[in-house]
Amino acid sequence: MKTIMIANQKGGVGKTTTAAALGLGLNKRGFRVLLVDTDPQGNLSSSLGIDPDSACGLFELLNGDNGIKDCICSSFAGDVIPCSIMLADADRRLTQPYAYSILDEKLGDICNDYDYCIIDAPPSLGILSMNGFSTAQYLIVPVNASAFSLQGLSSLFSIISAVREKGKHEIKILGILITRFNSKTRLSKEVLAVLENTAHQAGTRVFDAKIRQGVSIEMAQARREDLYEFRSGSKPADDYSRFTEEVLELIS
């Protein structure tokens, strides 16, 4: 099972949308996909039609209340381990010396059941994020084409270095994905140039696929429907499809 984490400490950059679209894109290509929601807001779970407050999920898994197979729900994008507001105090609740590696240990029990695991990270750095970093083999960083696009990137890359050095866990930054991109604006072009330089310094790349703006994403999420079928041929759907193919080329 190849595990990919979608993370950025800055909110509103499309982490959850990217996790759902990538998981769904892989699922449509015949791969067995598990999505793990580690954000207590539960937006990934909700967008896939799962009520995170009533489903057994990450809270029960990390607390040892249930086995991992009991914490998996089905959705149109693949299987999902949902996350609820019950983990809002995870940093206070999970204080064991090995707490940062619980998810990695639990996923080891089902690593032969799936081809890909997609982890949607919370925007804050804490025990839930560290569980993701300590589990994932690959990291994708969504960044929107805005004036504040670089906020948090340097600290995120520093965290990855610390995980590699202290945790003895190798995680590869697969690339930076630009969202809300408009090739006609000067700002988007300037952001792209800066991010390409940043990516080069971090030893990674900016994905060739750029996710253009479009209301179809928000509408599909609000209706809890398949992005690719909701507005077939929409700009965001086409862009995420190309992005999925690019990911497969990089790690298959």
Q: Are strands 138-144 and 73-75 parallel, antiparallel or unpaired?
A: unpaired
Mean pLDDT score across all residues of the chain: 91
Q: In terms of pLDDT, which residue wins out, 160 or 166?
A: 160
59: exposed, middle or buried (C-beta count within 10 Å: 0-12, 13-18, 19+)?
buried
Output the pLDDT for position 86: 94
Query: Nearest 5°: CA angle at 30, between 117 and 4?
Result: 20
**Which domains can be identified in the chain, with CATH numbers?**
2-251 (3.40.50.300)
Output the pLDDT for position 176: 94
Output the pLDDT for position 146: 82
Output the pLDDT for position 187: 87
pLDDT, tens digit (0-9, with 9 covering 90-100), for 230-241:
866 789 999 999
In this structure, of 25-34, 60-69, 111-120, 197-206, the range with the lowest mean pLDDT score is 197-206
Residue 124 binned pLDDT confidence (cut-offs 50, 70, 90): confident
How far is 34 from 68, CA to CA, in rounded Å? 12
How far is 48 from 220, CA to CA, in rounded Å? 10
In this structure, of 53-67, 174-188, 221-235, the range with the lowest mean pLDDT score is 221-235
Q: What is the mean pLDDT of residues 187-192?
A: 88
Q: What is the mean pLDDT of residues 88-114?
A: 92
